């Protein structure tokens, strides 16, 4: 003790201990210590009074400071983690680089009106409208900028399982599918009137996506729609006639998800048979089968061309595929709690682990560097493809219950070109515009909107925006 304390500090401590013994009713201990330390008259009654309570005050202040230090250390660790996952351009919140923007808690908006779990969400390609579909059999249309409910769309007789905006150039439609075995088309320009119902599947229709046509000037428009069903098939529909033009068979069980490449050439599906399949949309033939998951595959998504440099590096390729080549890489999410990254030949590139429950939806960042995922563990996770696909950000308690769906707001095309979709980052340009101040990508054609939306079993839709 004498090595740590000066003589004066040691004397003060001894007197405080003796005073504490006296107050605590331990006169024998006080007398013994006084005698051993040879403290005689220098500690009279008046001086002893001055030292009463000093030991307790010092003790409690040490405990209080220890707690404060632990809180500060925890806060410092969180800030350091945020710094580690940030890029220099993203450190300034006032001037966020859209290509490196990631969602932050808390959500910008919480949209509530559904009376059952929210199964799906979809952004309008041009306007600030967001559609959500629910177990309550309804679709709801929201203004995601104002946070207001615009209308409730009724027509399905059972749970709405998926929805998507798309359709012919200049004539955007909303498509929805349901456990009632039907697909319905709604016209946003005519108060979301039900203009067509497409029957044909023999069981629940679990997923639906418009297929881009690949036409010059408007690559996201097209008359075709693909659906996935519990009847083990995929069907391709012509929305102008309402006819099923092709049925794709190959899955051995419920097909749970489907998506199209940015040019509409390829389709990707996944389901209960624990496989994902890559299809040629024109011929309907299976081009590759993806086998490695150990449970039901809940979701699948194509990587946009902006991701190719990072994914090519992960795949140990000398150079990335050309940006014009679609369907080169993809991701799948499963009930086995893993996300897997693949190339189009069926080669597994990487398995991403971190979620504690079923993976329910995936979206690639339009900037190309990140993959976002949501899960029944109530979190949103952000994986950095430039850092070996490690998880660099987790939004805990993104919802109060299982998170079922995730979509990225479509990019905005500037100039004479048609506005085009970039939902799920699935387009060739893969760049976009921050809400409030749209930032051009080097090509000057498209800009990233820093907005994502999630749906949940907690019956709410949440919007995360910059």
403-418 pLDDT tens trace:
999 999 998 766 544 4
The pair of structure tokens assigned to 201 is: 């599947």
Q: What is the pLDDT of residue 232?
A: 92
384-403 pLDDT tens trace:
999 999 999 999 989 999 99
Distance of CA 63 to CAs 16, 68, 69, 308, Å? Answer: 18, 9, 10, 53
* Neighbour tally for 73: CB within 10 Å: 10
Q: What is the pLDDT of residue 439?
A: 37
Tokens 């679609």 locate to 326
411-448 pLDDT tens trace:
876 654 444 444 444 443 333 333 333 333 334 457 89
20-71 pLDDT tens trace:
888 888 888 888 887 787 777 667 777 777 777 777 777 888 888 888 888 8
Question: Shortest CA distance to 243 belongs to which of 257, 260, 258, 224?
Answer: 224
Backbone angle region of 430, left / alpha / beta, with phi > 0 → left and psi within -120 to 50 → alpha: left
Please give the Cα distance from 331 to 268 (Å, whole number).
10
Q: What is the pLDDT of residue 225?
A: 94
Task: Name the average pLDDT for the chain.
Answer: 86
450-466 pLDDT tens trace:
999 999 999 999 999 98
Please give the Cα distance from 39 to 79 (Å, whole number).
51
Please give the Cα distance from 420 to 71 (Å, whole number).
47
Residue 162 and residue 207 in contact, taking contact as beta carbons nearer than 8 Å:
yes
Query: 84 by DSSP, 3-state: which?
Result: helix
Angle at 58 between CA 56 and CA 64, to 5 degrees: 100
265-313 pLDDT tens trace:
999 999 999 999 999 999 999 999 999 999 999 999 999 999 999 999 9
Residue 175 and residue 187 in contact, taking contact as beta carbons nearer than 8 Å:
no
Residue 304 and residue 425 in contact, taking contact as beta carbons nearer than 8 Å:
yes
Residue 5 pLDDT class (50, 70, 90 cuts): confident
Question: Shortest CA distance to 326 belongs to which of 385, 259, 387, 406?
Answer: 259
Residue 142 and residue 112 in contact, taking contact as beta carbons nearer than 8 Å:
no
Q: What is the pLDDT of residue 115?
A: 96
324-367 pLDDT tens trace:
999 999 999 999 999 999 999 999 999 999 999 999 999 999 99
Task: Establish whether the linkage from the previous residue to 428 is cis, with ω within 30° of 0.
Answer: no
Query: 439 by DSSP, 3-state: which?
Result: coil
Residue 92 pLDDT class (50, 70, 90 cuts): very low
Question: Shortest CA distance to 126 belongs to which of 366, 411, 452, 431?
Answer: 411
Please give the Cα distance from 423 to 440 (Å, whole number).
18
CA gyration radius for the chain? Answer: 30
The set of residues, in sequence order, having a beta carbon less than 8 Å from that of 261 and lying 6+ positions away, is 212, 267, 268, 302, 326, 327, 426
For the entire predicted model, the pTM comes to 0.74
Please give the Cα distance from 69 to 116 (Å, whole number).
45
* pLDDT of 382 above 60: yes
Residue 7 pLDDT class (50, 70, 90 cuts): confident
* Neighbour tally for 267: CB within 10 Å: 27
């Amino acid at each position: 003790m004498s090595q740590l304390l000066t003589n004066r500090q040691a004397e003060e401590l001894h007197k405080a201990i003796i005073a504490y013994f006296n107050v605590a009713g331990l006169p024998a201990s006080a007398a013994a210590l006084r005698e051993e330390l040879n403290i005689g008259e220098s500690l009279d009654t008046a001086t002893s009074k001055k030292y009463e309570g000093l030991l307790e005050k010092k003790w409690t202040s040490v405990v209080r400071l220890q707690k404060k230090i632990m809180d500060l250390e925890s806060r410092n660790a969180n800030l350091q983690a945020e710094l580690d996952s940030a890029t220099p351009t993203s450190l300034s919140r006032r001037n966020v680089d859209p290509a490196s923007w990631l969602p932050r808690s808390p959500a910008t908006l919480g949209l509530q009106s559904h009376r059952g779990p929210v199964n799906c969400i979809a952004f309008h390609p041009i306007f600030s409208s967001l559609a959500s579909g629910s177990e309550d059999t309804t679709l709801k249309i929201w203004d995601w900028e104002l946070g207001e409910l615009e209308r409730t769309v009724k027509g399905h007789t059972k749970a709405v399982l998926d929805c998507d905006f798309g359709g012919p150039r200049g004539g955007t439609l909303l498509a929805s599918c349901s456990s009632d075995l039907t697909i319905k088309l709604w016209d946003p320009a005519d108060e979301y009137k039900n203009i067509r119902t497409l029957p044909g599947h023999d069981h629940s229709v679990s997923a639906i996506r418009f297929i881009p046509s690949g036409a010059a000037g408007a690559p996201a428009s097209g008359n075709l729609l693909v659906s996935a069903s519990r009847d083990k098939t995929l069907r391709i529909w012509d929305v102008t006639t309402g006819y099923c033009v092709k049925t794709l068979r190959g899955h051995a069980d419920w097909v749970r998800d489907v998506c199209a490449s940015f040019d509409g050439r390829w389709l990707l599906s996944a389901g209960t048979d624990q496989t994902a399949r890559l299809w040629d949309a024109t011929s309907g033939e299976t081009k590759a089968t993806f086998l490695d998951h150990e449970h039901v595959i809940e979701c699948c998504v194509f990587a946009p061309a902006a991701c190719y440099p990072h994914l090519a590096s992960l795949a140990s390729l000398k150079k990335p595929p050309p940006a014009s080549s679609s369907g080169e890489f993809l991701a799948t999410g499963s009930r086995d709690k893993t996300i897997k990254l693949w190339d189009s030949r069926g080669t597994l590139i990487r398995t991403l682990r971190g979620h504690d429950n079923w993976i329910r939806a995936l979206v690639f960042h339009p900037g190309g560097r990140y993959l976002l995922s949501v899960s029944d563990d109530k979190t949103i996770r952000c994986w950095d493809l430039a850092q070996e696909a490690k998880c660099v950000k987790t939004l805990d308690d993104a919802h109060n219950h299982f998170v079922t769906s995730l979509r990225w707001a479509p990019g905005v095309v500037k100039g004479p070109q048609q506005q085009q979709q970039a939902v799920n980052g699935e387009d060739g340009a893969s760049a976009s515009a921050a809400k409030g101040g749209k930032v051009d990508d080097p090509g000057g054609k498209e800009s990233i909107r820093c907005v994502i939306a999630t749906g949940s079993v907690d019956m709410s839709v949440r919007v995360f925006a910059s």
